[in-house]
Structure 1
Amino acid sequence: MKEMAALQKLPHCRTLVLLCFLLATLWDARAGQIRYSVREEIDRGSFVGNIAKDLSLEPLALAERGVRIVSRGRTQLFALNPRSGSLVTANRIDREELCGQSAQCLLNFNILLEDKLTIYSVEVEITDINDNAPRFGVEELELKISEATMPGFRIPLKSAHDADVGENTLQKYALLPNDHFSLDVRSGVDGNKYPELVLESALDREEEAVHHLVLVASDGGDPVLSGTSRICVKVLDVNDNAPVFTQPEYRVSIPENTPVDTRILTVTATDVDEGYNAQVAYFLDKSLGETSEVFELQSTSGDLKIIKVLDYEDATSHEIDIEAQDGPGLLTRTKVIVTVLDVNDNAPEFDMTSASSSVSEDSPPGTIIGLFNVHDRDSGQNAFITCSLPDNLPFKLEKSVDNYYRLVTTKALDREQFSFYNITLTAKDEGNPSLSTDAHILLQVADINDNAPAFSRTSYSAYIPENNPRGASIFSVTAHDPDSNNNGHITYSFVEDTIQGTPLSSYISMNSDSGVLYALRSFDYEHFRDLQLWVIARDSGNPPLSSNVSLSLFVLDQNDNAPEILY
């Protein structure tokens, strides 16, 4: 409606041009995409969008047109309400589970019009609600600080993590009031906030050996959610330098098929103190979640190695927070960014959306046999797929939207030549080495009555001795019909005629199923010497087809009359 309103403000000619362009765009279903937005955690069955209206259909036409959702690889989160024509939620939607901390969470799936095998792309944005409070990796943090430390000394603290995004994520830190410490929050190069404890006044271990602090992390939601971490500061003697990493950030790229137990890099931190105060140990941040199950850090050497098989399709990169802590407990941190490189370890996959098991042999060229989708979990060149089928078949592939293909006929089929086709579809990616997958469709060709019965000869002749017994078999004819079932079932008859004023059927009869002729009388050569008739072969198709052939029956003389003396 917004597009049409804008068109009305343009000059008439430009309006017509843009209107044609808009109609052409809407005409091609492959170019359109339907977009909706819905909050996470709403009740099952909640309204998402009027899919019937956006498809220009009446709600009751959804079932008649065979409209359904086509998706793969995840639990179905949406459903169609056939009465209202609305798209509704089918399950609980958790944005953090689906998209983590991505700024924008988009779910894509397709809607299929079954009657025309047309695909529409649907994109639903899941908006965040404030359903996660900030959480610290540890509930209580123990720090050790020398009493000789000068005011202004800064101690990096454990950061909190909030699974929400935008205003709902972590916004600020606060330290409950105390006599010796204040809080400063710095923004890192990655945009995250890092709290630091600042010493405001000198410490005296003999006066107070332990300080108990409370750090509060709050988000910007409504209502505001917060999390706390207790900090226990133990005052020690003369340890005034924290470890320092050789790099503020480490980066490494490794293929996803890197073997388990491979060392990928070594982090190094130095401490200018000496003795116990200079002994550095390395630790992974405990808030890493699944990343901590993939990598292992040697606390003494700083070696980072893989302990679980990497999968590019699950995660393209890992960000690892590493802490270096000296003997008394001063720490510093660095970040390791591991980029996972894709290898071609996934063959293409078929999803058969719709396929016919049979097709009539009189179907016109262009008849759709099936609709299927191919996809590859790899990326880049490894996920570029080409589909093919053997050249000697009367079919071709037509590519549609989102790697959907239609299998259609290229010419008229002939069941009498091929009663079925075993079609092999091949999907091949462009990785090195290339991987491929085959799918098979068994297609039966349904018969129509397109062949009339055919006799093996253009005419038949038979010879019958006179004085034959009544009911004797005198001859048989056979026709062949290449059609099947009723279309190939033949019945025989002959054209009624008269012989010397007597119906032909009083002399002979025919078995309609076998084509065998029987004599109903004993023939007399001296009475008549031959019979001429037409035999008809008719199939049982709808409409039936027939053919006929001429049959000549000759009566042979026997010595059944003695001489007569006339004079």
Structure 2
Amino acid sequence: MPTTKCLKDCKRGAVFCMLFASICRAISRQIHYSIPEETEKGSLVGNIAKDLGLDAKDLSDRGIHLVSQGRSEYFALNYKNGYLYTTKRIDREEICGWQETCILNAEVIVGDSMKVYGVEVEIMDINDHAPTFQLETLIINISENTALGSRFPLYEAQDPDLGNNSVQGYKLSNSSHFSLVVETSVKGKQYAKLVLERPLDREELASQNLILTAYDGGHPAKTGTTQVHVVVLDANDNAPIFSQRIYEVSWREDIPIGTTVIRLKATDLDEGINKQMKFSFHKIAAETSHLFHLDSDSGEITLVGNVDFEETPFHEMEVQVQDGGGLLDSATLMIIITDVNDNAPELAITSVIHSVAEDSPAGTSVALLNVQDKDSAENAEVTCTVPDNLPFLLTKSYDSYYSLVTSRTLDREQVAAYNITVTAVDSGTPPLSSSTVIALKILDTNDNPPSFQETVYTVYILENNPRGASIFSLKADDPDWGENSRITYSVGEEDIKVSSDLSINSETGTVYALRSFDYEEFRQISFLVKAQDGGSPSLSSSISVTLFILDQNDNTPEILYPSVPIDGSTGVELAPHSSEPGYLVTKVVAVDADSGQNAWLSYQLLKATEPGLFSIGLHTGEIRTARFFLDKDALKQSLVVLVKDNGQPPLSASVTVTVVLADSIPESLSDISSISAPADPQSDLTFYLVVAVAFVSCLFFTFLLVLLALRLHRWRNSQLCDSGSVTFTGVPVSQFMGIDGVQAFLHSYCHDFSLTTGKSNFGFPKGNLSNTLPSQQPCEMKDPFLLAEDINSSHGDSATTQVSCVCQM
């Protein structure tokens, strides 16, 4: 039990400390000044900067301003020295009327920190008004048989000052029949009444004039007077009497005009004219007299103006009833006005920021608002809200001030601007509301890097493109704004070689070729493109680009075999007389530097000495016999082979292949030397004779030149060949590799033979003549091969010619 009690005491102490701290903070934000009324314009009220602990030099920079709610501007703040001074003469009675405490409220708002400090200036009353009476002359009718000690109410003096400066008492001039008595009401007001001290005799004194003086307690005291004219009447021994001494009614402020507020009642026991009663207002404020009408005969009080709780919550007046004999009675009437919810809350923006950066932290102040409701009680209880779907909150700052702050980090790319509707709703029935819209622009920060539309770019371009031509364009997007979204493009710094082949427009992202690409040189280029925005610091992103070079048919087929000899002669191939159809004579080997279908080669015979004797493989280039050889077939067959690719348009090359029909090389030479043109009785014999003589002469001179050239050639190659052997020139023996990876092999046929003049026989070992051409066959020759025409032109030269081999593909 003691432990539980200790815990309760600790909790109560903690709550008390928290409440005390809150009260201290609230008090610390309230500044109180007091000045006397009638203070002239420009008078000093107080030093705001000093009292708030602010540096007077920074007032204008910190956005400090003074706000007065619901009243004229009576004060101003000097932003140079921080003094608060009056802007006009201040009259307490004009501002606060009969209120005992007169306070003018204002707020000092520090703009940069969104803090609000309350300032209240109490206006102290001075004795600047003398007591006054409603009428200059008061007529009192008193019957001559009025009992001694009867009291007759006199006019109340009015003094708008308060406290000791207001009415403190009354004095009556000297009179032998009357004295003055002052009564104090429950509320502390003093009322003067005339008391009859001696009997009246109308015949002796029909009337008399008295002076009633009211004085206040100021220094010096001020007074006001009114004349009391007493008329002595004949006897009327019963005065009218009100049914109540105090009448009190309550009405809502929305009571319609013409409504009967109250009906006064009074009784008089006299008869005749002394019983006829008249009702009237005895004491009533000028403003109240315009709101209510009193029927003098019926005593009915009717509303003739609009009452407003916010202006005057109650009306107090004194009513009087008088009979026909001059006797009267008085009573107090209090009309209480109750509040209705007829005023919507008033929202005022005292400080606002129209733009905020999107990376501002949660809790950033956007605006400071003040809400007021002229109603009272629950009708003045106001709740301020903002839409739930917006990232903003309203927090109460001070008294009726609210701060609009961000509830989370903003994103300009999602919402670039907000129209924030702040709604104030009171608690009345039915509730009234008002709203205001705050426009807020979200300022951009560079929080988004550029992003490309594709993850990887693959581009194709035909080779032989023109220099400077546009290849393709890249596009990157940046959801930021302004300079933060301005994108520049560049090729990655690590791709140094690419920068000599390609360039990119930094503004548009268009890539240009700086050179004409050759598919046979390289087939693709890979590089990185960087997109960088203009923010500070800037953000960037890169993307991989692969540029594929597409092949064009820009290379003609290259014939590797048979190759064109340097001396201009053609290669000679041997075909035995006994060859069967399909015998492989030779093979034309060609390659194409292009790729794909542009490198697909086809072979065809364009021209043949004996059409139909030979055929060539369309795709292999193999030249084979198409039939058996006949005796009538020429021993020397000349074939023109066309090699064509499959491009569009196709490109081609041709080569001439000479085929000799012989079983051995010596036989082929003898057969070739004995070849003569067949007799043709239809031909011109003279023409052929002339041609033959010219041809033989040319061969003779050619033989001499060739013989001289061979001697020189043999001498030069003696260091390279053993026993006079040399490699057959013009015929490659190594293998070839095409661009598309297909290997073409050079095949060799080797024949060793020797030629002698006279009756010597040929030594002719057989070569390898099969359908399949062996690869890598070594090949040697003793002397270069001589055509039969050259031998015939030697005229029996006894020199021996050695032929090493004939190489074929």
Cα distance, 1:30 vs. partner?
A: 6.3
Write out aligned runs for 1:423-502 (5 A). Answer: 423-495=420-492
Which of 495, 517, 525 matches 1:523?
517
Are the structure 2 counterparts of residues 280 and 125 from structure 1 closer, same or farther at C-alpha, using a change threshold of 3 Å?
same
Determine if contact 1:155/1:330 at 8 Å carries over to the other structure.
no
Aligned identity (percent) is: 51
Q: Residue 173 in 1 paired to residue 170 in 2?
A: yes
Which of 258, 267, 271 matches 1:274?
271
2:230 corresponds to which residue?
233
Are the structure 2 counterparts of residues 344 and 423 from structure 1 closer, same or farther at C-alpha, using a change threshold of 3 Å?
same
Are the structure 2 counterparts of residues 83 and 331 from structure 1 closer, same or farther at C-alpha, using a change threshold of 3 Å?
farther
Are the structure 2 counterparts of residues 286 and 409 from structure 1 closer, same or farther at C-alpha, using a change threshold of 3 Å?
same
Q: Which ranges in structure 1 are unaligned for 5 or more consecutive residues? A: 1-16
Other structure's SS at 2:113 match: coil
Determine if contact 1:44/1:89 at 8 Å carries over to the other structure.
yes
Which of 536, 540, 546 matches 1:542?
536
Determine if contact 1:297/1:305 at 8 Å carries over to the other structure.
yes
Determine if contact 1:29/1:119 at 8 Å carries over to the other structure.
no
2:135 corresponds to which residue?
138
Which of 192, 195, 199 matches 2:192?
195
Are the structure 2 counterparts of residues 225 and 498 from structure 1 closer, same or farther at C-alpha, using a change threshold of 3 Å?
closer
Segment of structure 1 superposing worse, 284-293 or 72-81: 284-293
Are the structure 2 counterparts of residues 331 and 131 from structure 1 closer, same or farther at C-alpha, using a change threshold of 3 Å?
farther
- Partners of 2:494 and 2:259 lie apart in 1 by 99
- Partners of 2:253 and 2:506 lie apart in 1 by 75
1:511 corresponds to which residue?
505
Are the structure 2 counterparts of residues 150 and 27 from structure 1 closer, same or farther at C-alpha, using a change threshold of 3 Å?
closer
- Partners of 2:485 and 2:81 lie apart in 1 by 51
Which of 112, 116, 121 matches 1:115?
112
- Partners of 2:23 and 2:313 lie apart in 1 by 36
Determine if contact 2:266/2:321 at 8 Å carries over to the other structure.
yes
The AA in structure 1 aligned to 2:363 is G
- Partners of 1:22 and 1:389 lie apart in 2 by 29
1:80 corresponds to which residue?
77
The AA in structure 2 aligned to 1:368 is S
1:59 corresponds to which residue?
56
Which of 224, 232, 246 matches 2:221?
224
Cα distance, 1:391 vs. partner?
A: 2.6
RMSD across aligned C-alpha pairs, in angstroms? 2.6
Cα distance, 1:487 vs. partner?
A: 0.7
Which of 554, 565, 568 matches 1:560?
554
Cα distance, 1:27 vs. partner?
A: 7.4
Cα distance, 1:127 vs. partner?
A: 1.1
Determine if contact 1:361/1:414 at 8 Å carries over to the other structure.
yes
- Partners of 1:114 and 1:271 lie apart in 2 by 71
Cα distance, 1:169 vs. partner?
A: 0.6
- Partners of 2:86 and 2:325 lie apart in 1 by 54
Cα distance, 1:151 vs. partner?
A: 4.3
The AA in structure 2 aligned to 1:335 is T
- Partners of 1:125 and 1:497 lie apart in 2 by 78
Q: Which has the larger radius of gyration?
A: 2
Other structure's SS at 1:96 match: helix
Q: Over residues 5-39 of structure 1, what are the superposed CA-to-partner deviations in whole Å (9 max), with x where a residue is unaligned?
A: xxxxxxxxxxxx9xx99995697356643222211
Which of 254, 275, 287 matches 2:251?
254
Q: Over residues 304-343 of structure 1, what are the superposed CA-to-partner deviations in whole Å (9 max), with x where a residue is unaligned?
A: 2222222222222111211212234443321111121222
The AA in structure 2 aligned to 1:422 is N
1:127 corresponds to which residue?
124
Determine if contact 1:347/1:376 at 8 Å carries over to the other structure.
yes
Other structure's SS at 2:446 match: coil
Cα distance, 1:433 vs. partner?
A: 2.3
The AA in structure 1 aligned to 2:252 is P
Are the structure 2 counterparts of residues 478 and 30 from structure 1 closer, same or farther at C-alpha, using a change threshold of 3 Å?
farther
Cα distance, 1:402 vs. partner?
A: 0.7
- Partners of 2:488 and 2:548 lie apart in 1 by 25
1:46 corresponds to which residue?
43
- Partners of 1:445 and 1:66 lie apart in 2 by 22
Cα distance, 1:290 vs. partner?
A: 0.9
- Partners of 2:27 and 2:438 lie apart in 1 by 25
Q: Over residues 234-290 of structure 1, what are the superposed CA-to-partner deviations in whole Å (9 max), with x where a residue is unaligned?
A: 333223443221111011111222221111211112233322222211112364121
2:363 corresponds to which residue?
366
- Partners of 2:459 and 2:410 lie apart in 1 by 41
Determine if contact 1:465/1:558 at 8 Å carries over to the other structure.
yes
The AA in structure 2 aligned to 1:88 is Y
Cα distance, 1:208 vs. partner?
A: 4.1
Other structure's SS at 1:221 match: coil
Are the structure 2 counterparts of residues 508 and 170 from structure 1 closer, same or farther at C-alpha, using a change threshold of 3 Å?
same
Determine if contact 1:286/1:292 at 8 Å carries over to the other structure.
no
Cα distance, 1:562 vs. partner?
A: 3.7
Q: Over residues 344-391 of structure 1, what are the superposed CA-to-partner deviations in whole Å (9 max), with x where a residue is unaligned?
A: 222222122222222211111221122212232222222222222333
1:533 corresponds to which residue?
527
Determine if contact 1:156/1:331 at 8 Å carries over to the other structure.
no
Higher strand share: 1
Q: Over residues 53-73 of structure 1, what are the superposed CA-to-partner deviations in whole Å (9 max), with x where a residue is unaligned?
A: 321223334334333322311
TM-score of the aligned structures, taking structure 1 as reference length: 0.89
Segment of structure 1 superposing worse, 35-44 or 303-312: 303-312
Determine if contact 1:282/1:302 at 8 Å carries over to the other structure.
yes
Are the structure 2 counterparts of residues 85 and 132 from structure 1 closer, same or farther at C-alpha, using a change threshold of 3 Å?
same
Are the structure 2 counterparts of residues 548 and 348 from structure 1 closer, same or farther at C-alpha, using a change threshold of 3 Å?
same
Q: Over residues 36-88 of structure 1, what are the superposed CA-to-partner deviations in whole Å (9 max), with x where a residue is unaligned?
A: 22111111222222322321223334334333322311112222233443322
1:10 corresponds to which residue?
none
Other structure's SS at 2:32 match: strand
Are the structure 2 counterparts of residues 29 and 184 from structure 1 closer, same or farther at C-alpha, using a change threshold of 3 Å?
closer
Q: Residue 403 in 1 paired to residue 400 in 2?
A: yes
Other structure's SS at 2:290 match: helix
Which of 139, 158, 161 matches 1:161?
158
Determine if contact 2:36/2:126 at 8 Å carries over to the other structure.
yes
Determine if contact 1:52/1:86 at 8 Å carries over to the other structure.
yes
Are the structure 2 counterparts of residues 21 and 523 from structure 1 closer, same or farther at C-alpha, using a change threshold of 3 Å?
closer
Are the structure 2 counterparts of residues 66 and 324 from structure 1 closer, same or farther at C-alpha, using a change threshold of 3 Å?
same
Which protein, 1 or 2, shows the higher relative CO under an 8 Å CA cutoff with sep ≥ 6? Answer: 1
- Partners of 1:93 and 1:414 lie apart in 2 by 52
- Partners of 1:482 and 1:431 lie apart in 2 by 48
Segment of structure 1 superposing worse, 537-546 or 329-338: 329-338
Cα distance, 1:180 vs. partner?
A: 3.6
Cα distance, 1:448 vs. partner?
A: 0.5
Other structure's SS at 1:91 match: coil
Other structure's SS at 1:290 match: helix
Are the structure 2 counterparts of residues 85 and 498 from structure 1 closer, same or farther at C-alpha, using a change threshold of 3 Å?
closer
Q: Residue 296 in 1 paired to residue 290 in 2?
A: no
Other structure's SS at 2:344 match: coil
Segment of structure 1 superposing worse, 379-388 or 176-185: 176-185
Segment of structure 1 superposing worse, 146-155 or 451-460: 146-155
Determine if contact 2:527/2:545 at 8 Å carries over to the other structure.
yes
Cα distance, 1:470 vs. partner?
A: 3.2
- Partners of 2:183 and 2:216 lie apart in 1 by 16
TM-score of the aligned structures, taking structure 2 as reference length: 0.64
2:748 corresponds to which residue?
none
Determine if contact 2:495/2:528 at 8 Å carries over to the other structure.
no
Cα distance, 1:563 vs. partner?
A: 4.2
Determine if contact 1:349/1:376 at 8 Å carries over to the other structure.
yes
